[in-house]
Amino acid sequence: MPDRPTSPWPLPLPPGEEPLMPPLSVWPTGQRDPLAQLRDAGCVPGTETDTERIPPAVAAHAIALYSRPGDLVLDPDCGAGTALVEALRAGRHALGLTARTRWWTLTRANVTAAKTAGAWRDGSVLDARPKVLATVRAAGLIGRVGLVLTALRTAPADPNTQASGPDRDPVESALADLAATLLYCEPLLRSGGHVAVIARPFRHPDGSLVDLTSRLIAAATAAGLAPVERCIALTAGLRGSRLVTRASLAERRAAARARAAGAPTALTAHHEVLVFQLAHDAELAAATAAGIPWPTEDDVIRPAVNGVTYPGWRRAA
């Protein structure tokens, strides 16, 4: 798998043709069980209570592939801070945001523990919602972030927002919140930077999987990003040709209840990772790979690609 993936998007397509899915890769990131991963990363007790955290092995793999030493790694909804810890351990700067006091306290403790263990890069966490990235307070970050690494979280970033209700689907709410967050993050990316979104599988009440891939790609495209890679990050261990699931007791009980109700449900064995770049970066990379001359200034500032307006295009001029 290349360190700097290239993409066929968003090159013009013939009328009526749908874009292809990005290249698929599989990451062997489930060789250690979740608690062992937290211990290896030096995370403080209590980090395991963040059930929607990015597994440390997945965070480390993404950081190694899509950023370089000295880069700034941003998690706009960092939870207990596993992504920040792995960024510091890999020699990157780290910045996280969370509006939940509980996660802010744990993340601060985890960042301090990483620095005590020898991480020398700067790491910090702000008590703030992702929307702060669209305000003047984030002006100093514009064009400086090498990697945005975040998870699709069903718990709202704003603790005053109800995650669920009779008319509100938590997964739909999470997708809407993440779409807004991607829009806030787009101006912060440096040229060549990446956005990696980690999404664990969700199921409909009938047991079928929710199609997160197309929804996340649509949200990122609307924010001026182009998909460059789709990855399967294993949470199950590889034993020869077999997968050994590492599902929690709660997940096993839920699967047993679903099977008893006549809806066979497999235990979760992976998280999905969707990787994006700025739209103009992805197109220039694809054009270079295809031997197409770089566009002129008039081409770069054209208003739309494939009929979609990308806010990041004008920055390429």
β-pair type (242-244, 270-278): unpaired
Over the stretch 31-47, which tens digit does the pLDDT of each residue have? 999 999 999 999 999 99
Distance between CA 33 and CA 235 in Å, rounded? Answer: 8
**Per-residue confidence (pLDDT) for residue 159, from 0 to 100:** 61
pLDDT for res 267: 82
304/308 Cα distance (integer angstroms):
5
Bridging pattern class, strands 242-244 and 308-309: unpaired
Quote the pLDDT of residue 22. Answer: 62
Rounded Cα–Cα distance for residues 285 and 287 (Å): 5
Cβ atoms of 237 and 206 within 8 Å: the answer is no
What gap in Å lies between CA 108 and CA 126, rounded to an integer? 9
Res 178: pLDDT = 96
Determine the pLDDT at residue 1: 40
Angle at 273 between CA 292 and CA 157, to 5 degrees: 120
Helix ranges, the chain (H): 34-41, 56-66, 82-89, 101-116, 170-185, 212-222, 249-260, 279-289, 297-300
pTM comes to 0.81
Question: Do residues 55 and 235 make contact, with C-beta atoms less than 8 angstroms apart?
Answer: yes
pLDDT at 121: 86
**Residue position matching structure tokens 């069980």:** 33
Identify the pLDDT of residue 10.
42
Q: What is the pLDDT of residue 93?
A: 97
Helix 56-66 with 82-89: angle, nearest 10 deg: 50
Low-confidence ranges of the chain (pLDDT < 70): 1-23, 156-168, 287, 293-317
